[in-house]
Amino acid sequence: MKARKNLEAENPSNTSKGFFRVVLEKPFGHDTDSCKELLQSLSDQEWPEEELYRIDHYLGKEMVQNILTLRQHNPWLGALWNKHVIQSVHLIWKEDIGTEGRGGYFDPYGIIRDILQNHLLQVLTLVAMEPPSKWTSDEIRNAKVDVLKAMPTIELKDCLLGQYDGYKDDPTIENRETVSPTYACIQTKVNSSRWEGVPFIMEAGKALNERVCEIRLHFRGQDDGSEFDGMSQPNALVIRLQPTPKVFFTANLKTPGFSSTPASTHLGVDYESHLDDIPDAYTRLLLDVMRAQQENFVRDDELIEAWRVFTPVLHETEKNKVGPLPYARGTSGPELRQDFLNGMGVTQPWLPPASAL
């Protein structure tokens, strides 16, 4: 069906005055093959890529859009944004509620397809991309695709999967033996000169101990670890998307008064007083559609590369019915979580100071 040509034929007098723009919401398939089928369907209908706007609403969030602003307009950050200074990058998405009656929708997808393969992966590309020579829509999306191409295919050994106790009791879930994960912690790498050897950790889960979504860039310490003597905390740059947008550095400062003991605190900006000024993510993105600005939308080659990274491990877990580890509601995830992080070289778990929460 030549859908686009049919619309032009039905409205011949309007084509020179108006425009066609198609807005598409995820999921964009459930693996590489289904994604390619959807892309081919749009091609068969003769929709050109410049008229397609695939929404991932996380790309419309205030602090996600701040990532490129931080990098573009603060040249001093360029000296920190690399493997020599950053020990690891941790992207976290946590909810303190379960599926709550939405299990029937969630169960066929699981947490990897629902959160990691799209939302967190899109954020990762913005953190890891090389600054483009020109900050145009095409150049930004080209840089994101380059990140995806530099990422290896994820293997099962890179994953810690969990399912919270009571998940199967959701009355909307038909398969009472489901092994669909509600928690996943996945390590990957970006094999570029900037990030070689730096672990990127994507972690997401439901029914955990808090509701938060943030990016943590953990800085390296002294080689001998002498600064972390039980008094100091590791340093990090934290970009918090929700519940309240924030961006801050963690720092160790002298305790006020006569004591010289260092106290962990943060230096940053809290957007809480500006919440009324921040538009909804969809409002922002739909305005971009009207303005024909595509940098915050997912391109066809981005989709294919994103599914290339995740499809093999998704097929393996489903074919072999890999059982996720149980975890109790209100915890940080499976008991093996910290051991798993330690095994990836994330040996300095950052505990945010109370003032940062």
Q: Which residues are designated catalytic?
A: 119
Copy the structure tokens of residue 269. 């900006």
Copy the structure tokens of residue 162. 């969990």
Copy the structure tokens of residue 349. 């778990």
164: three-class secondary structure by DSSP: strand
CB atoms within 10 A of CB 12: 8
Q: Are 187 and 203 in contact (CB under 8 A)?
A: no
* CA–CA separation, 265 and 126 (whole Å): 27
Counting every residue written for the chain, the total comes to 357
DSSP annotation of 119: I
Give φ, ψ of 264 to 5 degrees. Answer: -80, 130
- Helices 300-319 and 121-128 pack at an angle, to 10 degrees, of 130
DSSP annotation of 80: T
* CA–CA separation, 94 and 207 (whole Å): 8
Pairing of strands 22-25, 200-205: unpaired
Cα 146 to the chain's mean position, in Å?
17
Is residue 27 reached through a cis peptide bond, with omega within 30 degrees of 0 on the bond before it? yes
Helices (H), the chain: 3-10, 32-44, 62-73, 103-106, 110-111, 121-128, 137-149, 281-291, 300-319, 337-343
10: three-class secondary structure by DSSP: helix
User: For residue 62, which of 274, 298, 210 has the smallest C-alpha distance?
Assistant: 274
